[in-house]
Amino acid sequence: MTSTDHIDWHRLHRITPVLNAWKVAAGLFAVFVWQSADQLGELDLAVTTLLLIIAGVVVLGALLGLGFSALAWSRTKYGITEDSILLHSGVLFRQQRHVRLDRLQTVDVTQPLLARFTGFAALKIESAGGAGSNLTLAYLREDEAQRLRNELLARAAGVRMETDEAGVQHAPAAPEMHLYTLSPGRLVGSLALSGGIVTMLVAAVGLVVIAVVTENLSSVFAMGAPLIGAAAYFWSRFAGEFSFRVATSPDGIRIRQGLLESKARTVPPGRVQAVRLAQPPLWRFKGWWRITVNIAGYGAEETTGTVLFPVATEAEAAHLLSLVHPDLGDDRPLEVLRAGLTGDGDQEGFQHTPARAWWLDPLTWRRTGVRMTGTAVLLRTGRWWRSLVLVPHERIQSLGVTQGPWERKLDLMTFSIHSTPGPVTPMVHHQDAEATSLLLAEMTRRARNARRSAGPERWMTPAEEGSAALHEGGGFGGVLPSRVVSSAGVLPASPRAMTDDPGRMAP
Amino acid sequence: MATMSSGSAFEVDGAQWQSVSPKLVPVRQIGVAIGLGIPLVASVVVAIFTTPAVWAAPAVFGILLVWLLWLVPRQVRAIRYAELEDELLIRKGVLFRSMVVVPYGRMQYVDVDAGPIARSMGIAQVQLHTASAQSDASIPGLPEAEAARLRDQLSARGEARLAGL
């Protein structure tokens, strides 16, 4: 049903212009204050007159915003077909955006503060078209947004709709299993132990000391702006990652977060392109890891959307990793993972920077390394700022090697995996040249096989005939498909599933 | 292992490497000459009308120009590409070498570009785009017929081996 004749068009909720108008008003107010604060100060007016002028500007701005938003609202409509979601919008420049549901990457239900109080929500559908390729439905009633989310995910997954007596189609609700909640204490602790806060406090104390000693406040004013910027950053981290919760459902991983603005994000299976577990130096005493992911369509500018879990212990991190990549493709997944997280040298089959290059990386040469498993590549870097990157074979976009003059002298190479834009850049420096060319050839082969046997984009439809057979013949026979598809949907993987699986063979 | 010759690290079994057109050398040299010639002339003019110390600027531009004119032919000779069954390989660089392996199935689209100088020489650049911004899979300096053949070939192979994201 791709023709637009039979589409049931819907409007956004009538409250939309009101919720949008205050933004216009706030924007106008800010611009007004910014532009004319000086002139107003010089006019030498009474305080009441000044307040009246400002109030007038705000009311005018709100009315203008309301008018424009109402016009925009009246020209906006959306509809859902069997395989796409459509949004027609725009007053002067009309836009018709059609997003194919099999290309859907994530679905977010976001609630800015005002919408949260009034029970409304925005629905954001991310497709893989790069930054700015999302489709946003703002605003809908909260329950309507959730119903729509379920329907979109069910349609994207290829689940059949249930039709009730009245002939209305319903998406079966996806059962959800709650996994982890980030406690406020751990969030505050993690921020306090991140290098930034320490630097900021030292800088602030230093400034006060300088100001007291020199009896001059100019240094405080000079450094004030960067400090406020840093404080704003930490506030946004705190508010954005407050009450971070992760759950699993057949629709994928569901992430909820936010102190003021709440966000509920659903990442369907197979949408994560690369995972990174990172640990700043002070976090190692607590054994905490920050897990970020690359998801096509988000791009590098999105900061909160790419976090899978802000602060996880090693066991939680292993479990969360098993959700996005259920099968590590090795007999000893936990040992391999631990060697990648905290180990060094060649334990558990990691290949690292050869000893002859110790003077290029005096601290990190034993740590900088690669390990290929049956289903993914692990890249280990950093001695103080530890980091482990995982890229599933079927998500490799392309591979690259580079060699500078020093590397050529020492017979080394820098190896990188090209992933979609995001916070994770899989790359290791100074690997042995011959080992790297072998790695490159083998990884190319495994990526080729993994692509052929990759699960369907519509994750609930059965895999195509023959793909399993191809997988068997792919050189790592016996390894389970990376997604366990059953009639009940994707089975939530547990840490047990990572360890107790006798059916695997070493690659 | 450490005594292995460094050139062979960029060799791949079964790859038949192809060079790009030597016409890319003048195209790039003209580009370099324009890019550095303008500041060179401008700084000479400034130096004539001001103090002799300013002659340092045209000297730097001149040295850079000569060095780049010497470097360009070697860089062009170092560009190689090979079409494998499932992947495209591209090798570049003299001092800083690189190789990229791009599976056809990962291709999102192909671009064929030619600037005014390249067009007058009858060469074009073919660029393969994947969903990653990092895959720099461009082959400059292909004769127009070869560029068209490669474009069609890549499109056909990409379609046949198309994979999801």
How many domains, in total, are found in chain A? 3
Whether A40 maps to a domain, the answer reads yes
* CATH code of A12's domain: 2.30.29
Whether A279 maps to a domain, the answer reads yes
Instruction: Report the candidate in A130, A506, A203 with the shortest Cα–Cα distance to residue A333.
Output: A506
A445 reaches B (C-beta below 8 A): no
Q: Do residues A333 and A222 both lie within one domain?
A: no
Alpha carbon of A7 to those of A124, A151, A231, A418, A478: distances in Å? 20, 15, 49, 39, 46
B162 reaches A (C-beta below 8 A): no
Coil, helix or strand at residue A267? strand
Whether A188 maps to a domain, the answer reads yes
Q: Which domain range does residue A335 map to?
A: 269-459
Q: Do residues A420 and A290 both lie within one domain?
A: yes
Query: Between chain A and chain B, how many beta carbons pairs sit less than 8 Å apart?
Result: 112
B137 reaches A (C-beta below 8 A): yes
Q: Do residues B94 and B146 both lie within one domain?
A: yes
Among A271, A395, A444, the residue with its CB nearest the CB of B101 is A444
Q: Which domain range does residue B29 map to?
A: 24-74
Q: Do residues B84 and B132 both lie within one domain?
A: yes
Whether A175 maps to a domain, the answer reads no
Binning pLDDT at 50, 70 and 90, where does residue A491 land?
Answer: very low
Whether A473 maps to a domain, the answer reads no
Instruction: Write the DSSP string, A356-382.
Output: GGTTTSTTTTTT-EEEE-SSEEEEEE-
Q: Do residues B105 and B140 both lie within one domain?
A: yes
Between residues A165 and A375, the one the model is more confident about: A375
> Three-state secondary structure along B89-110?
EEEECCCCEEEEEEEHHHCCEE
Q: Mark which residues 404-423 of A lie under 8 Å from B by CB.
A: 404-405, 408, 411, 413, 416, 418-421
Contact between B95 and B75 under an 8 Å Cβ cutoff? The reply is no
Q: Which residue of B has its CA nearest to A354?
A: B2
Instruction: Report the candidate in B107, B108, B110 with the shortest Cα–Cα distance to residue B149.
Output: B110
What length is written for chain B? 165
Residue A168 clears pLDDT 80, i.e. is over it: no
Tens-binned pLDDT, residue by residue, of chain B (165 aa): 333 334 467 888 888 999 999 999 999 999 999 999 999 999 999 988 888 888 888 999 999 999 999 999 999 999 999 999 899 999 999 999 999 999 998 988 899 999 999 999 999 999 999 988 888 899 999 999 999 999 999 989 888 887 777
pLDDT tens digits for A440-466? 999 999 999 998 887 667 776 654 433
* CATH code of B142's domain: 2.30.29.30
For a pLDDT cut of 70, what percent of chain A falls above it?
A: 82
How many domains, in total, are found in chain B? 2
Per-chain mean pLDDT for chain A: 82
Whether A111 maps to a domain, the answer reads yes
Q: Do residues A109 and A150 both lie within one domain?
A: yes
Q: Do residues A289 and A387 both lie within one domain?
A: yes
Q: Do residues A153 and A196 both lie within one domain?
A: no
pLDDT tens digits for A378-421? 999 999 999 999 999 999 999 999 999 999 999 999 999 999 88
Residue A155 clears pLDDT 90, i.e. is over it: no
Are the beta carbons of A398 and B106 separated by less than 8 Å?
yes
Q: Do residues B46 and B99 both lie within one domain?
A: no
Q: Do residues B61 and B84 both lie within one domain?
A: no
- Of A161, A193, A208, the residue that ends a domain is A161
Coil, helix or strand at residue A436? helix
Binning pLDDT at 50, 70 and 90, where does residue A373 land?
Answer: very high
Are the beta carbons of B98 and A400 separated by less than 8 Å?
yes
Q: Do residues A190 and A157 both lie within one domain?
A: no
Within 8 A of A429 by CB-CB distance, chain B residues are none
Q: Which two tokens stand for residue A363?
A: 């601290």
